[in-house]
Structure 1
Amino acid sequence: MPSNGTYIRTDEVRAEILLDELNSAYERGWQPADVLHMAAHSGDPTDVPLAAASVLFDAHRTRAAHRAPTEWLHQVRTIGDRHPAIARITEPDRPFAASLFRVLPHVSRFQVDGLAYTWKYLPRFTHLTTPPSLWPQIRTAPDGTAHSAPDPRVLERIRGLLSKAESTEFPDEAEAFTAKAQELMTRYAVGAAVLDSAGSSTDPVRGRRLHLERPYAREKVLLLTAIGDANRVRTVWFTRVQIATIVGTVVDLEQVEMLFTSLLVQSTRAMNSAGTAGRRGGGATSFRRAFLTGFANRIGERLREVQAHATAEAAADARVPMTDLAPILARRSEAVDAEFRRLFPTTRSSGGRGVDSDGFHAGRDAAENALLAPGRSPLGH
């Protein structure tokens, strides 16, 4: 401290404050992927690598690999995969400040202070998993997620099919790939429900956050909600932070997230192909919003129809009468509703708003081309 009593913050102190604010955000319900999402919306693109370095160093320091819940570890590993250069140097045997300014030499001290300030004032968020202060010294038992997750081989096949659906330029191929993926996941979900009811396995209800991006974030939420409603998954949207939370069983959450990712690509492609019906400026924006709303509306209808058909086929394959399966699925839906009310007791339904009629119907028409059941032509043909 200088003779005039002015406090000078050293790099080491500055870095420790950043980590302290990160951990305080964790204790208020935020997770690693959430703080990266918020950093990406700060207006300074270098805030993302700074946030990644903080998260990865903190994970080493707290021994998250041996203590954290499965979902937490998945987020940390994903961040490390996206920032490999940072991951290699954020080791706990070197002071964080030294690591930070060596790997990110262009990060200013002011920026470190600014990110700490941002994290300091993040509001409380619903806890979806155990915060670091409650982690055991050594994780000795599964957290209920790892052993209930879908078979990795099934997920790999589904992801492969959806990736092909997103990359092909031929609508018929995209429809076939999407249809097969839907069939595989529906059959797996029904099988998981049957095993769960027989006591052979456990598919617990969980919450998971999805980070959405502008433009048209509200319309993307409508698509997510439509997919979730057809698959026993509830959705809540936090407009201020552009984060949606979906609540459901682990198997159903995987299905909804993968379908959403794929159908979002398909809806964007269809919207771009449709143009704007000659509109410009605000009129063009209104048309696109309405297009995506109509797409989501029709996709929800079709998913509910296809889900009923696929569920009946899966029940027949499993030799379970529908009269026995229906109560099983109803109980799972009731468990999801109960957990949703526990996590979000004060949510309210979002009101509708006027949309461009031409855009809305153009979006519904485009949704007819997203075939969701194998061996069936688009509805109405």
Structure 2
Amino acid sequence: MGDNQHVREMVTRAVQQALEAESHRTVPARDEAASQLVAHPPLWPLVSQAALVRTDEEVASLWARNWRPADAVRAVRRAWQATETAMAVDLIAAEARRYPAAAFDRRWHEQLRELDASVWWGRDRDYLAAFAQRHRLDRFATASKLIAVLQLWRWLPRLGPVGPLPGQEQAVDLSAPLPGEPKMLGRIRALLAKAESTDFPEEAEALSAKAQELMARHSIDAALLSARSGRAETPAAIRIGIDNPYEQPKALLLDAVATANRCRAVWDKHNGHCTVVGFDPDLDAVELLYTSLLVQATTAMNHAPVQHRSRTRAFRKSFLIAYAERIRHRLTAAARSVVAAEPADLLPVLASRDAAVADETRKLFPRTRTGRALRADDPLGWAHGLAAADAANLGTSRQLRHP
């Protein structure tokens, strides 16, 4: 009992000193904390156990500042290397054990699953040793990476809310999916994955068209159900990562997809993500479609004819800008044609939902500003980007449908 108490106090003191450093990259503070953690090798299992207890507090603090699992891991990946990123996922998995499964909303569960955030190490006493063995690290390097992750997380700013916190009580979960939605989303993901991987354009076209039809039907049904039932549905928000390189053209593509799906996108360059505001079915459509189009764009760009300029940064940037602009035009035209074909009683519903999304965006981001237009400097890249966008699979028979 004496050793346990001593180790807990030592870990708490060492971590706190490191977290009070003037920057998340303050090396002396990190090295000093790591040295304290590894000073007594026989106590290493107790250090591991105490460290996970202490890191739970830092992870919970992130959630209180409106970060979500994917955001927290993305921040580590942008600042550090793969090993620190793996540790960040482990620390999130360890903290998630504090809650029952019902404490998380649907998107929180999805992020944990996509991160593969699971407790793989058995006893907490064995975690640091198991991590060191898995990543071929010594004890000091392992402790140093632990402190580096915690230092970074401590310095992250407060973000706007994009959903309930773990375990947060809600009288009514307005962002809850309709019955059967998770199964349908899984089907849509599978269809888009096949569309991205197939070598046969006709097959990709059919798969993408079916995926778009499912998204559109769900979106229309949700809008009409809300209007006819009188249910007080409100917009929600999600964050989508925008990673380097070429983050500006990628943000431009996401804005094009969001706008076409009656959502608003706000880019946070410093933290590497866009917040997309809209109604829940439309947010699902934006996330899935943006991911698929980005994969298609990257594939097309990498398969452009091998020429001297096709390998330059200017070519790739111009390619993606042109791709985003052409996709915007295609989606906007498709949306207008679909709305024109819908019953007249849908138009007031659309106007009401558009106004609600605009109001929610202003509430979350009262001080946004419009970015400058991006400049494409490579004509060859621009031409190839337009061609790739024209060939992108959006579905031809019915195109995108919107509520």
TM-score for both structures, normalised by structure 2: 0.78
1:318 is aligned to none
Bigger shift: residues 291-300 or 181-190 = 181-190
1:69 matches 2:90:
no
1:258 is aligned to 288
Quickly say closer, same or farther: Cα 1:229–1:252, change in 2 above 3 A: same
For residues 302-351 of structure 1, the C-alpha deviation after alignment (integer angstroms, 9 at most, x for no partner) is 111112233445x3xxxxx23x2112111111111111111111111111
Quickly say closer, same or farther: Cα 1:153–1:74, change in 2 above 3 A: closer
**Structure 1 unaligned spans of 5+:** 316-320
CA distance in 2, matches of 1:374, 1:135: 43
Q: Give 1:214 deviation, angstroms.
A: 2.2
Aligned to 1:361, which of 383, 388, 396? 383
1:344 matches 2:371:
no
Tell me the number of residue pairs that the alignment of Structure 1 and Structure 2 aligns: 351
Aligned counterparts, 1:257-336, within 5 A: 257-275=287-305, 278-279=308-309, 284-313=312-341, 315=342, 321-322=343-344, 324-336=345-357
Q: Give 1:290 deviation, angstroms.
A: 0.7
2:168 is aligned to 135
**Structure 2 unaligned spans of 5+:** 1-5, 15-35, 39-46
What residue identity is the alignment partner of 1:50? M
Bigger shift: residues 352-361 or 163-172 = 352-361
CA distance in 1, matches of 2:145, 2:369: 37
For residues 282-301 of structure 1, the C-alpha deviation after alignment (integer angstroms, 9 at most, x for no partner) is xx211111111111101111
Question: Kindly, what percent of the aligned residue pairs are identical?
Answer: 34
SS in 1 for 2:62: helix
Quickly say closer, same or farther: Cα 1:89–1:180, change in 2 above 3 A: same
CA distance in 2, matches of 1:161, 1:111: 39
CA distance in 1, matches of 2:299, 2:334: 23
Check the 8 A contact 2:195/2:203 in 1, yes or no: yes
What residue identity is the alignment partner of 1:341? R
2:145 is aligned to 111
1:160 matches 2:190:
yes
Bigger shift: residues 49-58 or 342-351 = 49-58
**Superposition RMSD on alpha carbons, in Å?**
2.8
CA distance in 1, matches of 2:211, 2:104: 31
2:97 is aligned to 60
Q: Give 1:154 deviation, angstroms.
A: 3.4
What residue identity is the alignment partner of 1:31? R
Aligned to 1:87, which of 119, 135, 143? 119
Quickly say closer, same or farther: Cα 1:252–1:48, change in 2 above 3 A: same
TM-score for both structures, normalised by structure 1: 0.82
Q: Give 1:362 deviation, angstroms.
A: 2.7
Bigger shift: residues 296-305 or 164-173 = 164-173
1:219 matches 2:240:
no
Check the 8 A contact 2:319/2:384 in 1, yes or no: yes
